[in-house]
Amino acid sequence: MNRLNRNWIAGLLAVALFAGAMAVRATAGEDNDFHFSIIGDRAGSPAAQVYGRVWREVDMLHPAFVINVGDTIQGGGDAKIEEQWKEIKTLFNRYRQYPLYLVPGNHDVFSEASEKTFVRETGRAVHYGFDYQNAHITVLDNSRGMELSDAELQFLESDLAQHQAQHPKFIFFHKPFWIPLVRVGSGEFALHKLARKYGVDYVVSGHGHTFMRLPFDGVVYMEVGSSGGGVEKKIERGAGFNDGVFFHHVWVYVKGGRVSMTVKELDGQRGQGRMFRAEDWDERGPHFDTGDPANTDKPTT
């Protein structure tokens, strides 16, 4: 075989491999059709009834699975948490038909003993990955630090490398150390570089009890706020809905490769029941009328 023919064959092989890889990715995306729910923080003087109401609403939506952003229990010492897990699991058992993926928060995991308890009570490691249809979610642990440790970043890279064909991809961990970096427009941090390298779509955190959404350089960074965790101090300081301080949960629809998120505020005495598309909220806050449209609409029929 002469050199020209060899080059031709090599070229055809490269095209075929590329087309195959694109087909895997396209097929992976096309097959998705499911919903899941994201629940926010509960710890920090949890408001009575709020977390239970969030779960009742989530139950009405019949998600394929439920994931949170950490701080499920109040914590406060190894001696206290057995009872706290027992109490919250009474509620979880009511909804055990939904696979539940808990993320370790600083109230959940703060010592070796509390880490062991977390693993035993949740049935999950402190970091793990899972697929649902062709989507992939990686859960990481920064409960005891702010940034992601080298070990967490190594786990992330190996998990993403093993699931390159999955799409879309989400990363969940508790503390949103990315906020100041993303706000100044810096992509020069290891998490972001890995997210870009492996095509991660969403990075989702909690901890701040504040809804926040910062799309940046092809990755959507989001903080899910309070699903019952304390917000009184923020409200005393004058913060409100437009600042992301409200009780809510997030309803996620994955259709093909597209992710749509709807944020649902609680109603009754705990909010105004506002629902909005997550993409209508960015670093400047809400891009919609935050009043009740029913008060201003003038129906013609």
In the bound state with Fe ion, the residue whose beta carbon lies nearer, of 129 and 225, is 225
108 binds Fe ion (CB under 5 A): no
106 binds Fe ion (CB under 5 A): yes
Give least dist CB 130 to Fe ion, A.
Answer: 23
Residue 172: other Cβ atoms inside 10 A: 24
Sequence-ordered strand ranges (E) for 42-161: 66-68, 100-101, 128-132, 135-139
Considering only 167, 207, 234, 248, the residue that binds Fe ion (CB under 5 A) is 207
| CB contact at 8 A, 41 and 69 | yes
Question: In the block, which residue shows the tokens 């092989």?
Answer: 13
Structure tokens at 99: 């696979």
32 binds Fe ion (CB under 5 A): no
In the bound state with Fe ion, the residue whose beta carbon lies nearer, of 32 and 117, is 117
Distance of CA 17 to the CA centre of its chain: 33
In the bound state with Fe ion, the residue whose beta carbon lies nearer, of 71 and 159, is 71
Contacts with Fe ion by CB under 5 A: the residue count is 4
CA distances from 35 to 74, 77, 80, 267 (A): 28, 36, 35, 22
Give least dist CB 231 to Fe ion, A.
Answer: 13
CA distances from 280 to 215, 257, 275, 289 (A): 11, 20, 11, 10
Q: Which residue is nearest to Fe ion (CB)?
A: 207
Considering only 29, 42, 46, 71, the residue that binds Fe ion (CB under 5 A) is 71
In the bound state with Fe ion, the residue whose beta carbon lies nearer, of 207 and 274, is 207
In the bound state with Fe ion, the residue whose beta carbon lies nearer, of 73 and 200, is 73
Q: What are phi and psi of 217, to 5 degrees?
A: 55, 45
Binding site for Fe ion (CB under 5 A): 71, 105-106, 207
